[in-house]
Chains A and B, each alone.
Chain A
């Protein structure tokens, strides 16, 4: 039992990171309607920015802020030069998929060019210590991830529900044409959405890098976990991303422990989850059902 709790808590800590990545994916899906396959690579890139800032002697929190700002810039730029000109993702899915795949390759290659192919090490933000609760050891780093996620969710809630900017962003998400008719600068808000998503990804990267080692393939598995989270939660639901993140984290920590066939592939439960949800409940737990008017 204690063993189970231990593994479950580790999973929930990881789940917080998947949820962070998922939040970014949801913000992009809601605003531009596409699945951003380059989200993980963008997060990896900005995590390298954090590492660079930290290694030239900046304090960690300042380095993270710099990384988020850098990520914001990359996200906004990517939207302006690559994503927006391609057009509507649901009319031309192939073109959009290929553009995000191109971004995936490009950002990954750029990171290798700048930082080389060797893994860097980023120290854990909350140290290597752990606390014992009911006989179960929990790393501060995991608790920190949950706290960071909570702060992020709170900020997102305040932004979307209590500011004029957030209202405008919601308007763009629900109907960009009408939004632009009432004078909302739609392209600028979409750009903002991409920037925000990339900035959030930075924090996910900062939490996952100490575990995996900061290399250019940092996010390739994590991205699929993030996608599993938002598939379960619903592609357009921020709450869904958080719930989905925790469920995916818990499942992919617990199942490989008890089911030997998953031992070396924690990704398998997440994959099965993606497939099952898309087949039987494509809108996920909290998502809006897609309805087409004939």
Chain B
């Protein structure tokens, strides 16, 4: 029996531990449910964007945090998800939901495509290749401007009935409930997808497959001699990670309604990486915390500064990344865990003395 399930049983046995586990989550969900009613519409739109970032970071975390394959190019996969969604809706009048699913599938195959060379190219060199992908991606969008709209942008439209006639109109997520405004409906829709993605990722990590991911990261030779098919694990992780990033991108497309190549530069890839690292690589909720941090920081705090010193955002994020690597490589979650471990050790020490 693995240590995790033993801990789980203990947690179930002692009521205090159970309360400690359930109460924080209950609070989080209550806060998440109240938020869209307490903030103006433009903030709710921003929260929707943070969620797309959290989803992409969750995907990157599976790959980089748990499987140890470094990608600095997830912005490109996010972009592929967004553009697939946009093009399917606009050109082929595919329903929004189907377009999102298709985007995830397309990204899955792109992930496999990048994962294949990643079997031979590792570590720093994989980072180099993915960085090149991220730099190349906006140029590809410009090259194929006949379908992507190039730098003029892609307006996502779908045929809708307007005053009795069917016309191409910008997409909108209409709320089916009278009590919910459109942006609130979108918020809950996105929240639902985000929660599903995170819960499924958690289940995957806690499963046999998840242990295989970590084993491959920690020691390939040992993993292989334990009978783990390394190549298959690595390629499929890349595909899955890309598919999740693609879902994030797809929601991004639905949120924005228009897409420009300038939204998918190397900087986007870096911000996804920031969300993973700040929250805590190789922890489930880390990317979500990281995405909220990034959102609060760049959409709320930095906006308080005068325009002239806005670029301070990049300076602060850069310095923060470096400091994190030097002082707390585990990010917020890692730091919290080590504090918790220290606290438990102290408690046991005191109990042993008395």
Contact yes or no, B325 A102, CB < 8 A: yes
Contact yes or no, B311 A112, CB < 8 A: yes
A202-220 interface mask toward B, CB cutoff 8 Å, 1 = contact, 0 = none?
0000000000000000001
Q: Does B214 contact A (CB under 8 A)?
A: no
Pick from A86, A93, A265: contact of B143, CB under 8 Å: A265
Segment among A52-60, A64-72, A149-157, A272-280 that sits at the interface with chain B: A272-280
Pick from A34, A97, A263, A271: contact of B132, CB under 8 Å: A271
> How many Å lie between the Cα of A98 and that of B277 in the bound state?
8
Q: Does A106 contact B (CB under 8 A)?
A: yes
With a cutoff of 8 Å between Cβ atoms, the chain B residues found around residue A271 in the complex are: 132-133, 136
A-B contact pairs, 9 of them (CB 8 A): A37-B127, A94-B64, A101-B270, A101-B321, A103-B322, A113-B309, A262-B143, A267-B139, A282-B125
Among B278-320, those with CB < 8 Å from A are 281, 308-309, 311-320
Pick from B128, B139, B311, B325: contact of A274, CB under 8 Å: B128
Residue with the highest number of chain A CB atoms closer than 10 Å, among B64, B273, B325 = B325
Q: Does B152 contact A (CB under 8 A)?
A: no
Q: Does B95 contact A (CB under 8 A)?
A: no
With a cutoff of 8 Å between Cβ atoms, the chain A residues found around residue B311 in the complex are: 109-110, 112-113, 117
Among A243-280, those with CB < 8 Å from B are 261-265, 267-268, 270-271, 274-275, 278-279
Among B296-354, those with CB < 8 Å from A are 308-309, 311-322, 324-326, 329
Q: Does B121 contact A (CB under 8 A)?
A: yes
Q: Does B70 contact A (CB under 8 A)?
A: yes
- Going nearest first, the 6 A-B pairs with the smallest beta carbon separation are A106-B318, A109-B314, A102-B321, A112-B311, A105-B318, A109-B315
Contact yes or no, A35 B70, CB < 8 A: no
With a cutoff of 8 Å between Cβ atoms, the chain A residues found around residue B133 in the complex are: 271
With a cutoff of 8 Å between Cβ atoms, the chain A residues found around residue B308 in the complex are: 116
Q: Does A89 contact B (CB under 8 A)?
A: yes
> How many Å lie between the Cα of A8 and that of B81 in the bound state?
38
Contact yes or no, A265 B309, CB < 8 A: no
Pick from A90, A117, A265, A268: contact of B123, CB under 8 Å: A90
Question: Which residue of chain B has the shortest Cβ distance to A274 in the bound complex?
Answer: B132
Among B203-217, those with CB < 8 Å from A are none
Q: Does B194 contact A (CB under 8 A)?
A: no
Contact yes or no, A275 B277, CB < 8 A: no
B52-70 interface mask toward A, CB cutoff 8 Å, 1 = contact, 0 = none?
0000000000001000101
Contact yes or no, B322 A99, CB < 8 A: yes
> How many Å lie between the Cα of A217 and that of B68 in the bound state?
30
Q: Does A229 contact B (CB under 8 A)?
A: no
With a cutoff of 8 Å between Cβ atoms, the chain A residues found around residue B319 in the complex are: 102, 106
Q: Could you list which residues of chain B lie within 8 angstroms of chain A, going by C-beta atoms?
A: 64, 68, 70, 72, 117, 120-121, 123-125, 127-129, 131-133, 135-136, 139-140, 142-143, 266, 270, 273, 277, 281, 308-309, 311-322, 324-326, 329
User: Closest CB of chain A to B91's CB: distance in Å?
Assistant: 21
Question: Which residue of chain B has the shortest Cβ distance to A35 in the bound complex?
Answer: B124
Q: Does A127 contact B (CB under 8 A)?
A: no
Contact yes or no, B124 A96, CB < 8 A: yes
Contact yes or no, B127 A102, CB < 8 A: no
With a cutoff of 8 Å between Cβ atoms, the chain B residues found around residue A117 in the complex are: 311
Contact yes or no, A94 B70, CB < 8 A: yes
> How many Å lie between the Cα of A203 and that of B111 in the bound state?
38
Question: Which residue of chain A has the shortest Cβ distance to B127 in the bound complex?
Answer: A97
Given A37-B127, A278-B121, A279-B117, do A265 and B136 touch, yes or no (CB 8 Å)? yes
Given A35-B124, A278-B129, do A104 and B325 touch, yes or no (CB 8 Å)? no
User: Closest CB of chain B to A119's CB: distance in Å?
Assistant: 15
> How many Å lie between the Cα of A220 and that of B72 in the bound state?
14
Contact yes or no, B270 A105, CB < 8 A: yes
Contact yes or no, A93 B321, CB < 8 A: no
Pick from A34, A86, A227, A265: contact of B139, CB under 8 Å: A265
Contact yes or no, A35 B326, CB < 8 A: no
User: Closest CB of chain A to B193's CB: distance in Å?
Assistant: 28
Q: Does A221 contact B (CB under 8 A)?
A: yes
Given A37-B131, A101-B321, A278-B129, do A112 and B314 touch, yes or no (CB 8 Å)? yes
> How many Å lie between the Cα of A256 and that of B308 in the bound state?
39
Q: Does A95 contact B (CB under 8 A)?
A: yes
Contact yes or no, B143 A264, CB < 8 A: yes
Contact yes or no, A102 B329, CB < 8 A: no
Q: Does A198 contact B (CB under 8 A)?
A: no
Contact yes or no, B326 A85, CB < 8 A: yes
Q: Does A224 contact B (CB under 8 A)?
A: yes
With a cutoff of 8 Å between Cβ atoms, the chain A residues found around residue B315 in the complex are: 105-106, 109-110, 113
Question: Which residue of chain B has the shortest Cβ distance to A117 in the bound complex?
Answer: B311
Pick from A37, A105, A224, A278: contact of B125, CB under 8 Å: A278
User: Closest CB of chain B to A99's CB: distance in Å?
Assistant: 5
Contact yes or no, B124 A101, CB < 8 A: no
With a cutoff of 8 Å between Cβ atoms, the chain A residues found around residue B324 in the complex are: 98
User: Closest CB of chain B to A101's CB: distance in Å?
Assistant: 6
Contact yes or no, B120 A279, CB < 8 A: yes
Question: Which residue of chain A has the shortest Cβ distance to B323 in the bound complex?
Answer: A102
With a cutoff of 8 Å between Cβ atoms, the chain B residues found around residue A261 in the complex are: 143
User: Closest CB of chain A to B127's CB: distance in Å?
Assistant: 5
Q: Does A165 contact B (CB under 8 A)?
A: no
A70-94 interface mask toward B, CB cutoff 8 Å, 1 = contact, 0 = none?
0000000000001001100110011
User: Closest CB of chain A to B76's CB: distance in Å?
Assistant: 12
With a cutoff of 8 Å between Cβ atoms, the chain B residues found around residue A95 in the complex are: 325, 329
User: Closest CB of chain A to B132's CB: distance in Å?
Assistant: 5
> How many Å lie between the Cα of A109 and that of B270 in the bound state?
13
User: Closest CB of chain A to B310's CB: distance in Å?
Assistant: 8
Pick from A101, A102, A267: contact of B72, CB under 8 Å: A101
Contact yes or no, A264 B139, CB < 8 A: yes
Contact yes or no, A93 B136, CB < 8 A: no
Question: Which residue of chain B has the shortest Cβ distance to A34 in the bound complex?
Answer: B124
Q: Does A6 contact B (CB under 8 A)?
A: no
